[in-house]
A and B are shown apart, each in its own frame.
Chain A
């Protein structure tokens, strides 16, 4: 069974702080995705990383895929209240996506 563990599970920080969320697995994935989910909504894709060691930036968000394609990290610089939400990583296989346990982020103004 493929498992994706995310840490931390919960994070509450002040506006302007930096943070990093981790996603770890014992399995290799062909690609890994990060989604953000807001209350009452379905997850929405932020980014897909495909190549081991790949780094992608999306404004204040930086995503990195581990060299062995088993882990990933999401770094947010100068967090804002609008970043509040549940962040999910998902390992993408040929036919399906396996989601991580989630990190619930709250950014306080």
Chain B
């Protein structure tokens, strides 16, 4: 039972570099989400998707892009990394909105 899998677990980026955080789920969930969590804080929604081909902005979308070409995968792209993007990133999925959200283990990103 893999659930939600995120890769990589850790990454250090230099300012201006780009990278893609990978997220895949094997529960056939329609809804997927990307959150960021700053130290000691709650989670802020970056982007979400209600199905393949459909994405929408959350609370803090600036500096990020997403795509949802399949039900299973929901990658998050950082184009020009900035120190303000240093955070822990969580991907989550749910069957429909309002039901239990299942989270991955997170990607700890540091931008230097």
Contact = CB atoms under 8 A, between A and B. Distances in A.
Interface residues of A, number: 27
B101 A45 contact: yes
Interface of A: 1, 4, 6, 30-31, 33, 40-45, 48, 88, 90, 92-102, 104
A96 B45 contact: yes
Given A42-B92, A99-B35, A94 B105 contact: no
B74 interface: no
Nearest to A104: B40
Q: How large is the interface on B (under 10, 10 to 19, 20 to 34, 35 or more residues)?
A: 20 to 34
A102 B41 contact: yes
Given A40-B105, A43-B103, A97-B33, A92 B40 contact: no
A42 B105 CA distance: 5
Contact of B42 (A40, A95, A101): A101
B15 interface: no
A44 B59 contact: no
